[in-house]
Chain A
């Protein structure tokens, strides 16, 4: 028997009281973290620091599942309350950010299920079929497969306008329009900036599927930016 499976599972942390949560199980196998220790000692400054640093990424993550901003704020708050309740039982084998992100995902998924009883299958064979679909309009290439018209360099787009308020609003809209599975990956990877291994563990998807989703999501956001900056 794997010794890890005997240790108390913090599945409840992820909203699964029956201990069946695969996210919780997969997160067990990592090395300890100083930030988690500080929280478990009751360090208030460390707690406030974590609240402030992770609020934005967690809010974006919640918004990958629900459209409404107030609902997303609720989800993040509920996730923190759950985390506080379970701090004593958390083994600290994943980073705090990964752990709390996992809780947000579970709370958000539960909330979404409650709100819409209908299961939505984006596509059962999504990743496989997706891999073959081009992410750039084929009309942009000539018969020989080279660019008909070159993409415009963004070198002379001022830095300020690439991260300006309006541009960021366009990016948010583009993310909202993505298929949920792509949205989930791009938010975890590029918005919350978790690493590929952590995200793979959290979502239980292969590295390759993660890359397919990330690629399609980035390509869609790139396209939205290109249209906007044109």
Chain B
């Protein structure tokens, strides 16, 4: 497998959908190639960093309004 092909398999690898044979070839390549290893790490780091951008607090007034709506629903049972 060439590096050029390797980079297109990174997501399939991370998703765990490569066939056992492809997975073995992929890992063999990674073990001997600094460039592809760095690229794979970058893809992992990218994925993990994406999980960090969601941390946004709900505005207090919105939470109050929604909680009020929830209480309404609860008390009327509708």
**Interface on A for B, CB 8 Å cutoff?**
42, 44, 47-48, 51-52, 55-57, 59-60, 73, 77, 80-81, 84-85, 87-88, 134-136, 138, 141, 144-147, 150-155, 162-163, 167-168, 171-172, 175, 186, 190-193, 196, 207, 211, 214-215, 218-219, 221-222, 225-226
Contacts and interface: CB of A to CB of B under 8 A. Distances in A.
29 contacts: A42-B74, A47-B67, A56-B56, A59-B54, A60-B54, A60-B56, A77-B65, A81-B69, A84-B66, A87-B73, A134-B7, A135-B7, A141-B3, A146-B35, A147-B36, A152-B38, A153-B37, A154-B38, A171-B53, A172-B53, A175-B53, A191-B51, A207-B17, A211-B11, A214-B11, A218-B11, A218-B47, A221-B50, A222-B42
Nearest to A39: B70
Interface residues of B, number: 47
Contacts of B43: 218-219, 222
Contacts of B34: 150, 153
B41 interface: yes
Nearest to A59: B56
A190 B50 contact: yes
Contacts of A214: 11, 15
B26 interface: no
A151 B42 contact: yes
Interface in B1-60: 2-5, 7-8, 10-12, 15, 17, 33-39, 41-43, 45-47, 49-59
Nearest to B34: A150
Contacts of A134: 4, 7-8
Given A80-B66, A84-B70, A168-B52, A215 B42 contact: no
Interface of B: 2-5, 7-8, 10-12, 15, 17, 33-39, 41-43, 45-47, 49-59, 62-63, 65-67, 69-71, 73-74, 77-78
A215 B11 contact: yes
B49 A171 contact: yes
Tell me if A's interface is mostly helix, strand, loop or mixed.
helix
B31 to A, nearest CB: 15
Contacts of B73: 42, 84-85, 87
A151 B38 contact: yes
Contact of B4 (A47, A51, A141, A153): A141
B42 A154 contact: yes
